[in-house]
């Protein structure tokens, strides 16, 4: 998006799937996550509101991880969002970069992190796409 350009419209309900692209964790976590993602691709549900270049909403990624998110439309017209929430004794973080493919489709790059006791315990990178519902 160039200066004075049209800001893409991200408003609405979006759904799709993702593939696990990279993993950093202790023990067999990555192997198990990769096998699980192969047979049951993570679902992405994105509900966005927009005011100018500001975004807010809910990202449900691999339910029940429903996270409130905030973000912005970047200069290149993509959307960057971030959110976090506690899950039991861990803190779950999710960030995503969404890029417009068409009026009704976005590519998605999603990073999730979990922190146990204040220390990073795992990081996952997913790529996928979502379609406006």
* pLDDT (tens digit per residue) in 54-72: 999 999 987 667 899 999 9
- Asked if residue 3 has pLDDT above 70, the reply is no
List helix spans (H) across 1-133: 29-39
Tell me, yes or no, whether 19 lies in a domain: yes
CATH number of residue 20's parent domain: 2.40.128.30
DSSP 1: -
- With cut-offs at 50, 70 and 90, classify the pLDDT of residue 123: very high
Question: How many independent structural domains does the chain possess?
Answer: 1
* 1: in domain: no
The CA-CA-CA angle for residues 62, 64, 67, to 5°, reads: 90
5 located within any domain: no
User: How far is the C-alpha of 33 from the C-alpha of 42, rounded, in Å?
Assistant: 10
The token pair that represents 94 in the structure block: 């999710």
How far apart, in Å, are the Cα atoms of 3 and each of 7, 77, 78, 111, 131? 10, 11, 14, 29, 27
Decide if 3 is inside a domain: no
3-state SS assignment for residue 26: coil
* Position 112 in a domain: yes
Within a domain: 75: yes
State phi, psi for 75 to the nearest 5 degrees: -60, -30
Q: Is residue 133's pLDDT more than 90?
A: yes
Residues near 33 by beta carbon (within 8 Å), at least 6 away in sequence? 20, 23, 25, 124
Answer whether residue 24 is part of any domain.
yes
E strand spans, 34-118:
43-51, 54-61, 66-73, 79-87, 90-102, 105-116
Model confidence at 73, pLDDT cuts 50, 70, 90, reads: very high
Find the domain containing 117 and state its range.
Answer: 12-132
Model confidence at 92, pLDDT cuts 50, 70, 90, reads confident
């Amino acid at each position: 998006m160039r200066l004075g350009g049209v800001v893409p419209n991200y408003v609405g309900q979006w759904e799709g799937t993702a593939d696990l692209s990279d993993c950093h964790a202790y023990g067999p976590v990555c192997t198990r996550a990769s096998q699980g993602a192969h047979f049951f691709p993570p679902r992405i549900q994105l509900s966005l509101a927009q005011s100018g270049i500001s975004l807010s909403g809910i990202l449900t990624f691999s339910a029940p991880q429903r996270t409130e998110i905030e973000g912005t439309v970047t200069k290149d017209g993509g959307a960057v969002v971030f959110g976090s929430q506690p899950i039991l004794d861990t803190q779950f973080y999710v960030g995503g970069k969404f890029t417009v493919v068409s009026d009704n489709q976005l590519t998605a790059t999603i990073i999730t992190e979990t922190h146990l006791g204040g220390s990073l315990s795992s990081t996952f990178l997913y790529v996928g796409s979502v379609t406006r519902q």
